[in-house]
Structure 1
């Protein structure tokens, strides 16, 4: 296992909570920040101009604010250059770029601490940014005292965004007006999918048709709801209370029946669930990453064979399957994790064929690592990822590199 070092470091003005590289210009990235104002500086709870925080012991509300910061990761040197800052009167909990091109720039969905989803546009020309983020529209999905925690663009419908809330709600926000989020007057409809008893930390749409929504909450429950045929409503198809020993904080679907999860209990897990929604879910592999697994991102993969794709009497082993995953592990730093499936003796022997391996770790962060992202390029010996990771309380942002050589081995930074 390689211990990697930063190529550059930067201290931010406010604590970073989320980060995302721009799809059209992978040298650009946006960082969202989250600042909780001291309680003693706030007015009383019944003040009409402050309803954006939590009630304190003395009946006061704590205000949250933040910013959206546009950076460029310079080629070669990996120096992080700040291009523009947009202060906002809410804390930013999550940011997600739209996968749908508009022809007039990239759209960014922002989860706010005031119960809204805000849509920003980054103007671009020939794929390059030509200005700062511009607010297009903002849509209330909850009371201003409730935090929007996580967002996911619908993979089939550009007019729909999934969201989770601090009150446990998992829902969908759909835009009218021709599905144009850029229209400040576009009306939205809200639909609740299901709810958790505590904070709903994450959600995802299932593969391949987005007919189901999976979510995880602070109640340690993994839930799945399926869209009712010929309708817009969802019905709970299953929930699992036994797999995770603490809150479910990350979900990454791999195939229609294989899903990765991260949890406060420090584990990453590969879970098999029946495609029909009935039957027992099973943990095929798990690994303790040393810290709460807050976020997971797929960086690279060969074909991940689903057990349903393999016949028990096939008489041969399928080719190897690998996935490279970036894991933000809260108080343990960042991990490069490989999931591999080397052989398949039989469908009944699934437990023996999957494994996690930590290929590299980055541990220069001295507080909670909530946000990391990476982009790929060709390295000297194979694929190389340029990674930017952050930590919350020390407000540190670092860039670093990770390379897989052609023979699928780790090449630590600086090694010839």
Structure 2
């Protein structure tokens, strides 16, 4: 189906927020609730309004009589409830730093716990309790220096921003965090109220800012059980990251008795024409290859096959231009039951920056061809669509909340899923 033949979706509701939204996610424990993280760059009065919320920091003539100062940013976490097509504001928690990523823990027993990372290299946890008058409660916040026990501290005038993070797929107490320095760090959270450990040695390093990270199980051999998550038992997983250096990098890591290690150096894929901004591991095929979807500033969504062997190279199986930078990928549904039309099928919600949002189908046809198809387009956003998510528990119709940055717009829309 040609792009101009795809159905353009209209919003059901929209509203303007107080601060620019950078991320949004529904709570898997309480599906009627969702959180929006915001990001505001506070400009000096002399700069004026032009360039507000720009992080370039460049001087027009390359010279400045003033010493460079860290830029001041703040933000908030806004709690909303979506019931019967109505979006209701519940609570706003101002934050001393701007928020760049926000994700609920995906594991049973912890799905009401949300983590956020910020412009001052902090990690904070919150708990959503809808029965309380103020349902979103702060649990704890730690910065990069505290978590690394002082081994990582910004130099005077230097900034370290946490840009994104990803939870471990089977451990509720692990995550990977990316930084503006190009580093990817592993974090252990034995309890949610403190005593977190950030390994000061990065597991992966990019030449420029690291925009995204994801953790998946590394494919195991037949003699190695996949469920080896008990305390003290060696457990392997693969970390993927994408950076402004146009690289998709990945590394196999081990977790053993509370310590992280990597037996082999990180590997890289050069299959992108601009910065890698989103990563979505899908599943492992029968031959051991892992299927991974990526997004890039070059406006393309791609499917890679990553070999289980440590020295193999990823193979680009399919790609499609979506008309905007592919900033975020959220899996809607994955069907691996083969039929006469396809051997497997995935549907994905895509935040496409200046092009709005897309609902995309990815499948492997019965003949073995890999294909992306756009099922729906939402294009009412007039600026960068960084955050989009759908309400859990959907059946035939998907309720989606999407946001855009500079115009501070939040929209509710629906798409039929067939």
Aligned to 2:208: 198
In structure 2, the partner of 1:300 is 333
Q: Which residue of 2 aligns with 1:340?
A: 363
67 and 304 in structure 1: CA distance in 2 versus 1, 3 angstrom threshold: farther
Deviation at 1:157, TM superposition (A): 2.4
Counting only pairs closer than 5 Å after superposition, residues 260-299 of structure 1 correspond to structure 2 as 260-299=293-332
Q: Deviations for 1:106-157, whole angstroms, at most 9, x for unmatched residues? A: 11111111111011111245xxx65332211112225462110111112232
Deviates more, 1:32-41 or 1:65-74: 32-41
Gaps in structure 1 of 5+ consecutive residues: 43-51, 306-315, 346-352, 409-416
CA contact (8 A) 2:28 2:392 kept: no
Give, in whole Å, the separation in 2 of the partners of 1:304 and 1:277.
29
**Normalising by structure 2, what TM-score?**
0.81
Aligned to 1:25: 30
8 Å contact from structure 2 (residues 300, 319) kept in 1 = yes
CA deviations over 1:20-76 (Å, ceiling 9, x no partner): 00111111100000000112379xxxxxxxxx996975333321000000001121x
- State how many pairs are aligned: 364
In 2 relative to 1, CA 70–214 (structure 1 residues): closer, same or farther, beyond 3 Å? same
User: Secondary structure in 2 aligned to 1:275?
Assistant: coil
Q: Do structure 1's residue 135 and structure 2's residue 168 form an aligned pair?
A: no
Say yes or no: does 1:232 pair with 2:263. Answer: no
Structure 2 match to 1:412: none
Q: 1:364 to 1:187 in 2, by over 3 A?
A: closer
- Distance of 2:394 and 2:239 partners within structure 1: 35
- For the pair 1:83 / 2:101, whether they are aligned, the reply is no
1:280 CA displacement? 2.8
Q: 2:120 aligns with which of 85, 100, 114?
A: 114
Residue pair 2:169, 2:217 contacting (<8 A) in 1 also: no
> Whole-Å Cα distance in 2 between the matches of residues 317 and 100 of structure 1?
34
Q: Give the Cα separation in 2 of the matches to 1:30 and 1:229.
A: 31
**Equivalent residues in 2 for 1:3-402, closer than 5 Å:** 3-40=8-45, 57=64, 58=66, 59-75=68-84, 78-102=85-109, 106-124=112-130, 131-141=134-144, 143=153, 145-175=159-189, 179-181=190-192, 183-184=193-194, 186-191=195-200, 192-207=202-217, 211-228=237-254, 232-234=260-262, 235-241=264-270, 243-256=271-284, 257-303=290-336, 320-344=343-367, 353-377=369-393, 383-402=396-415
After the TM superposition, list the runs of 4 or more consecutive aligned residues in structure 1 that deviate by more than 6 angstroms: 52-56
**Comparing 148-157 and 332-341, the one that deviates more:** 148-157
**Matches of 1:22 and 1:290, distance apart in 2:** 29
CA drift of 1:358 comes to 0.5
Give the TM-score taking structure 1 as reference length: 0.82
